Amino acid sequence: MKIYTKYTVSSVLKIGIAVTLLSAFMMLGVDLFRNLDSYVTYSVSSGNVIALTLLYFPQAILFTIGPSFLFSVTYFLSMLHANNEIIAVLNSSIKYSDIIKPILITGVALSAFFFLFSEGASIPATSNKQALFESCTTGSDALENSYNVSISDMTQSYMVYAESYIHSNKTLYKVSYISGKDSIKRINAEYARWDDEKQLWVFYVANIYDNGVSYSEELELPEMKLTPDMFRNLSDDVTSMPLGKAASYIKQMRMIDISKYYQMASSYWDRILNCLTPLVMIIIACSMNYRYKKNVLFISIIISVATAVVYYVVRMMTVMMASQGIIAPAMGTLVPFIVIIILSLIARKING
C-alpha cells in the first residue's frame, strides 16, 4: 500500500470510528431516558435496564456510522486544503482522484461491514431487546400475538378469520375457514392448532357446513397452506426474521394482501439496501468543493450536512411511495442513492 493511501485510509478510519463510538454511547443515553418512564412504571430491575440499554448498542452503531464518516471524510479533506497539504500532494504528481479513490473503497468496505454487522449483531440484539422488554413489562410474548385476524388466499380461494392468534402455542381461537373454489364450504371451530410434525392445521370442535352440516372433534385441513408466521403480528418482523424466510413470507403475502405486501417489501428492501448509507455519506463528502479561502471546515461541514439532509428527505419520500405501491419496493431505497450519485458527478464536474 502506498504511503499516501495508507495515510488517507488510516486518518479517515481513526476519526470515523472515534466519532461513531462517541455518538453511539450518546445514543445509549438517549435510549435510556426515552424508556426510563416505562422502566420505572413496570419496576424493571437495574440489571435488566443495563441489559436493555446495552442491547441497543449495535443499532446505535448503525444509526451513527453514516453521519460519523460524513464528518470524518469532510474533516480530512477540508484540513488537507486548509493546511495546504493538498499543494504538496499535487506537486508530488499525485492526482486528487488518487486521494478520493481509497476513501470510496473504504466506503464500500464500510457498507459491507454495515450489512454483515446488521444481520449478525444488530437485528438479533434488537429482537432480544424487544423480547426482554416485553418479558419485563407484560411477562408474555404478546408482541407476536394477533387479534381479529382475517387473511384471504386468493390463489386457493379461501379465507380464514379468527378472534385471536397466540403464537406461544401456535393456535387460532374461534376460527372460521371459508372456501369457495368449487362450492361454498365453511368450517367453524373452537380453535385450530398448527401441527409441526405434519405441517398442517388441525381444527378442534368443528362444525362443517358443506351441502349439509356435520361435526368433527378433530379435523385436519391440509388445503389450508397458511403457516403460523402468516398470523403473527409481523408489523416489524420482516426487518428481523432471516432474509430467506422474509423473502418467502413477502412472496406469499403478495398473493394474500397486496397492500401489506408493498409495506413489507419496502421494509425488506430498505433492510438490505440500507447498508449503502455509509457509502452515500462518503460520496457526499468527496463531492464537496474544499477550495474556500476562509472557514473551510465550517463551510464544508454545513454543505455536507445540508446535502445529507436532502438525501434523507428524498429517501423518506421514496420509501413512503414504495410502501404505498406507487414505485417498486426496491426503488424506495435505491432512488435517493442514484440521485446522490448523479448530483456528486455533476458537482465534481463543476468543481473540476
pLDDT tens, position by position, 279-328: 999 999 998 877 776 677 788 888 888 888 888 889 999 999 998 889 99
pLDDT at 352: 56
Which DSSP letter does residue 275 get? G
pLDDT of residue 143: 59
The mean pLDDT of 11-38, rounded to a whole number, is 94
Q: Tell me the mean pLDDT in the region 259-286.
A: 90
- 201 - beta bridge partners? 194, 221
What amino acid occupies position 277?
T
Tell me which H or E stretch contains 21: helix 3-41
Mean residue pLDDT across the chain: 86
pLDDT of 113 reads: 97
Q: Which residues fall within 8 angstroms of residue 269, CB to CB, at 6 or more apart?
A: 322, 329, 330, 332, 333
pLDDT of amino acid 327? 92
CA distance 187 to 90: 79
**Beta-strand runs (E) in the chain:** 146-153, 158-166, 171-179, 185-195, 200-209, 213-221
Mind spelling out the 3-state secondary structure of 223-269? Answer: CCCCCHHHCCCCCCHHHCCCHHHHHHHHHHHHHHCHHHHHHHHHHHH
User: Model-level pTM?
Assistant: 0.77
Find out whether 177 and 153 touch, Cβ atoms under 8 Å.
Answer: no
pLDDT recorded at residue 140? 55
**When comparing pLDDT for 259 and 264, which is higher?**
264
Residue of higher predicted confidence among 246 and 72: 72
What pLDDT, on a 0 to 100 scale, did the predictor assign at position 1? 58
SS3 343: helix
Torsion over CA of 195, 198, 200 and 203, rounded to 10 degrees? -60
Choice between 344 and 32, residue whose per-residue pLDDT is larger: 32
Q: Are 225 and 285 in contact (CB under 8 A)?
A: no
More confident of the two residues 84 and 330: 330
CA dihedral (144, 147, 148, 151) in degrees, to 10, reads 10
pLDDT at 239: 79
Q: Give the model confidence (pLDDT) of 193-237 as tens digits.
A: 999 888 899 999 999 988 778 888 899 888 888 888 778 765 556
Read off the pLDDT of each residue in 81-104 and give the average, rounded to a whole number: 84
Which range has the worst mean pLDDT, 117-126, 153-162, 233-242? 233-242
pLDDT at residue 276 tops 90:
yes
> What average pLDDT does range 238-246 have in this prediction?
79
Which residues, 6+ apart, have CB-to-CB distance to 57 below 8 Å? 24, 28, 125
Q: By the 8 A CB rule, do 118 and 62 touch?
A: yes
Percent of the chain whose pLDDT exceeds 70: 93
Rg (CA), the chain: 27
Q: Give yes or no for residue 63 having a pLDDT over 90.
A: yes
CA-nearest of 311, 298, 319 to 344 is 311
Q: Return the pLDDT at 181.
A: 65
Report pLDDT digits (tens) over 148-201. Answer: 887 877 667 788 888 888 887 889 999 999 887 666 789 999 999 999 888 899
Write the DSSP assignment of 118-155 as a string of letters: IIIIIHHHHHHHHHHHHHHHTSS-GGG-EEEEEEEETT
Distance CA 131, CA 143 (A): 8
Backbone angles phi, psi at 281, to 5 degrees: -60, -40
